[in-house]
Every structure is written in structure tokens, then in C-alpha cells.
Amino acid sequence: MDPAAQNPFRPLPAVEEVLADPAAAALAARVGRELLVRFVQEELARWREEIRARGLDAAAVRARLEGGELALALAARVRREEGSGIRRAVNAAGVVLHTGLGRAPVHPAAAQAMAEAAASYCVLEVDRFTGERNRRDDRLSALLARLTGAEAGLAVNNNAAAVLLLLNTFAAGRATVVSRGELVEIGGSFRMPDVMERAGTRLVEVGTTNRTGIDDYRRAAGPDTGLLLKVHTSNFRMEGFVAEVDPAALVALGRERGIPVAYDLGSGLLEAEGATPLAMLGAEPRVRAAVAAGFDAVTFSGDKLLGGPQAGLVAGRRAAIAELRANALYRALRLDKVAIAGLEKTLELLLAGRGDEIPARRMLFATADDLRPAAEVLAAAAAAIPGVRAEIAAGESQPGSGSAPAVRLPTWVVRVNAAGLGAEELAARLRAGEPPVFARIQQDELLLDPRTFLAGDLERVAAALRAAVEGAG
């Protein structure tokens, strides 16, 4: 036999040959010829690698090509390309502030304000009544002050930015005193000591991992101290022989020594008058209480327990807020018009006594009894799919996003088993469907938690399940 015919690389087509196929032309029309060329090159390289690694012979390669494997792989690459990026998803995982799924879904009124600000000109840095230039977050700051009881407010891109601005403004080139037990790492590589270094401040750790008192701060506070900082350990909980510094005592120490005092709250539980308290979160610190304790600045996220768009909010004393605003970094960290529009609307809802309508809060309030009917409807819809077993079971949802980590919210979940499909495979198919559905896997079982459903999601999940299971056939 001709030895060349036995060369397993010989059957592989040239890039141009693949592109000449009418099916490839259709794919090129979807993602552009240039990208498709790259996909073909990468796919052929993958084939060559597999031939080498697995010692495939020419006959095996030919059989694969004749079976259309290359064309199928290219079509899958194109589908993946088209299906990538930010898009609507269904959260069936029961984690209310799911960082991977964009944290808080904003109130429809906030979403509308954001869409309008994005699509049109808007009144951003001008007072429409006097025609004079003003600041983009003047109103937002006023709303924030009213809602928190603070003298003034300020908003930046996220809470990480707020902390960076805080440290840089008050303690660049000087020391920041923090409890050893509060040097937290927030997901996404936000480590308090690293942020301090970037902000140009020197970290002075006081106390021990489990116990810190006011005397620890008192001993460390000196002429070179720029800031006394307290950090809410939002994403973990220490139990046992523990003590953290009392906020009021820390504020008093700051006043006595003339050193600014700040509290990074993170999750930012902001209870407005008239709204039902989020009592299920237990001892989670309240923004209003921190402000009332007299901190110069209190920082928290816009998209955690507040239920708004991504932002870092600062509430505090007038002089401190003015200093933050005067820092040149503020210009680099400020919010865009879209986020401001969504935040103003979210804060207005809270001030109008309509806080209970905010989706994240509504989801946190829901009791197991509230959720049971949705779980039953979904279980019935799932069980009607051939090959699927589904039943409801008592379960637990989570606030998420590092907020109240020890808190579990009683719920009803739907346990789904599809014949011939493992839980991981079923979850992967649900994620790959349109819209993507994110479920939870627990002990090799797929669970769907209706707590985090928005309007229409129950029907979306039922349809997604059917598509995922039928795709198995």
C-alpha cells in the first residue's frame, strides 16, 4: 500500500477546502469570515494534536471526516460564539444575590430609567431650572443622605472603589488601623491588605484573629494614623470566644484623637421607614445604625442588599464626603449616567415606602409557604416530561454575595431526575439553553429553587427542562 495514504494527517483538508463548503459559507455569514478562518485553523490544529496523542490512523481520520465531525465541531464553535456574553438568565439556584448572575435584578422602574438614560440624552450635569452646571450625583447624594440619616452622600463604581477612595483620601502615606479579625477577602480578589497597599496606606493590624477591643485601636492610633477602619466580615462568621470593637467606642476614639473613622459595611442593609424589616438576616449591621453611630464615612454596595445596580455608596459627615469628592481619584471612579439613573429610582422607591417591591428584598421575604405553590406547579410540569421524575422537597436558599453567610432561608425546591442524564449533564444542558437556566446540584441531584424566579421564569424553566431532556433523545 502507498505509504502516503497511510499518513494519518493526509486526509485533513486545507483551510480553504473547508471554507469552500456551502455549510461553511453559512457559518461565515453569521460570525464573519475572519473569525471562521480562525475557528477552522484551531479545529484542524486540535485534530492534529488528537491524531498524535491517540495515534489515530488514516482510516480513522477519514471515517470521522466522512461522518461530518469537523463540520459539526465548527457549527458548535459558532453557536458558542453567538451564545457568549451577557444575556438574560434564569436563576433557579435560590441564591438571591448571585454574583455570577449579576447580583441584584433591579426593580422594573429602575430598569426602565436605566434603559432611557442609556438610549437618550439625559439631564446629567446641568440644573434644568437654572441652566447652571451641577454635579451628576447631586440628587443621588441628597437621596442617600435622606435615606441613611447622614449629612451627605457620594457614589462611585462599586464598594471596592469606595474603599479605595476612602483609604487614599484619608490615609495615603500614613497608617490605617484595622482589626486583625476584619482583614477580609471578598470574592474576586478584593483583599483588604492589597487594597490598602494600592491606596498608598500602611496597614496597622491590631487585636487578634478572634478578639479586638477599643484598647487595641487606642494603643495603635498615633500622630501618623490617617484612618481608623472597621470592616464588616460580611462573608464569614466567627463563633465562640470572639469580640469586635464597638462602633460607638471607635467613633469616640476617633473624635478624641482627631482621626477620621470609617466603617466598610459591604452588604449594606438599608432599612427605610415603612418597609418591612429584613428580620431574617438577623444581626447583619444596618446602614442607618452605622451612620447614627457617627462614623465619618460608611461604605456599602449598591447591588447587594440594597437591590440596585452596581455601585459603591458612601454616607457620612459633610466634611468627609467633601474630601472624598475632592480627591482626583473620584473622577476615575465615578458612576455613569445609567447606574445613577437606576440608583436614584431604587432610592426613591425606598423613600416612597415601596422598598418591599424591590426584587431582591421580595425574594428575601418569601417564606417556604409562599414558595410552595410555584414549586408544585413546576414539579407537575417537569413530571409531565417523558423520562423525568420530579418531586418537591423542603430545602434552603441563601442571601448570597457574602451577605449574612450563616443565614439559610427555608424554601421548597423541585428535585429533578431525568432518565439517562446525570445531574451534571442536565445542569450543563440547562445552562447552554436559551435562556440559560442555572440550577443547584446537591448530592448528585438537580434542584430548582423558585425563590429567585422573576415573572415568567417558572414557564421558562419548564420549557428549558423539556428542551434539555428531549435533546437527550
Ligand X SMILES: *Cc1c(COP(=O)(O)O)cnc(C)c1O
Instruction: For residue 353, count other CB atoms closer than 10 A to its CB.
Output: 12
Q: Which residue has the cell 479579625?
A: 181
Q: Which is nearer to ligand X, 40 or 184 (CB)?
A: 184
Q: Which is nearer to ligand X, 260 or 399 (CB)?
A: 399
The one among 91, 141, 148, 158 contacting ligand X by CB under 6 A: 158
Q: Which is nearer to ligand X, 160 or 461 (CB)?
A: 160
Q: Which is nearer to ligand X, 40 or 358 (CB)?
A: 358
Tell me how far apart the alpha carbons of residues 470 and 464 are, in angstroms, rounded to a whole number.
Answer: 10
Does 102 participate in binding ligand X (rule CB under 6 A)? no
The one among 155, 204, 231, 341 contacting ligand X by CB under 6 A: 231
Tell me how far apart the alpha carbons of residues 262 and 414 are, in angstroms, rounded to a whole number.
Answer: 44
Question: Minimum CB separation from ligand X for residue 408, in Å?
Answer: 19
Question: Minimum CB separation from ligand X for residue 425, in Å?
Answer: 33
Does 234 participate in binding ligand X (rule CB under 6 A)? yes
The one among 24, 156, 160, 421 contacting ligand X by CB under 6 A: 160
Cβ burial of 112 (10 Å; 0-12, 13-18, 19+) is middle
CB contact at 8 A, 180 and 212: yes
What residues pair up with 301 in beta bridges, in sequence order? 312
Tell me the window of 34-42, 182-190, 290-298, 361-369 that interacts with ligand X (CB under 6 A).
Answer: 182-190
The one among 141, 176, 212, 267 contacting ligand X by CB under 6 A: 267
The one among 216, 264, 344, 457 contacting ligand X by CB under 6 A: 264
Task: Say whether 234 sits in a helix, a strand or coil.
Answer: coil
Q: How many chain residues interact with ligand X (CB under 6 A)?
A: 16
What residues pair up with 313 in beta bridges, in sequence order? 155, 300
Question: Minimum CB separation from ligand X for residue 184, in Å?
Answer: 6
The one among 186, 360, 430, 461 contacting ligand X by CB under 6 A: 186
Q: Which is nearer to ligand X, 401 or 452 (CB)?
A: 401
The one among 105, 254, 309, 312 contacting ligand X by CB under 6 A: 312
Does 315 participate in binding ligand X (rule CB under 6 A)? no
Draw the binding track, 388-407, toward ligand X (x: CB under 6 A; -: no contact).
--------------x-----
Q: Which is nearer to ligand X, 201 or 411 (CB)?
A: 201
- 183 CB-near residues (< 8 Å, 6+ apart): 191, 192, 193, 203, 205, 231
What residues pair up with 446 in beta bridges, in sequence order? 416, 441
Longest CA–CA span in the chain (Å) reads 95
Does 168 participate in binding ligand X (rule CB under 6 A)? no
CB contact at 8 A, 420 and 472: yes
Draw the binding track, 268-307, toward ligand X (x: CB under 6 A; -: no contact).
---------------------------------x------
**Cell numbers standing for residue 450:** 423558585
Q: Which amino acid is at 371?
A: L
Q: Which is nearer to ligand X, 281 or 427 (CB)?
A: 281
**Cell numbers standing for residue 418:** 431525568
Question: Minimum CB separation from ligand X for residue 265, in Å?
Answer: 6
Does 159 participate in binding ligand X (rule CB under 6 A)? yes
Q: Any idea what DSSP says for residue 130?
A: T
- 103 CB-near residues (< 8 Å, 6+ apart): 97, 303, 304, 310, 400, 401
The one among 153, 260, 266, 395 contacting ligand X by CB under 6 A: 266
Tell me how far apart the alpha carbons of residues 161 and 86 are, in angstroms, rounded to a whole number.
Answer: 23
Question: Minimum CB separation from ligand X for residue 231, in Å?
Answer: 5
Tell me how far apart the alpha carbons of residues 97 and 78 are, in angstroms, rounded to a whole number.
Answer: 31
Instruction: For residue 189, count other CB atoms closer than 10 A to its CB.
Output: 9
Q: Which is nearer to ligand X, 92 or 104 (CB)?
A: 104
Question: Minimum CB separation from ligand X for residue 350, in Å?
Answer: 18
- Tell which phi-psi region holds residue 297, choosing left (phi > 0), alpha (psi between -120 and 50) or beta: beta
What is the contact surface with ligand X in residues (CB under 6 A)?
Answer: 158-160, 163, 184, 186, 190, 231-232, 234, 264, 266-267, 301, 312, 402
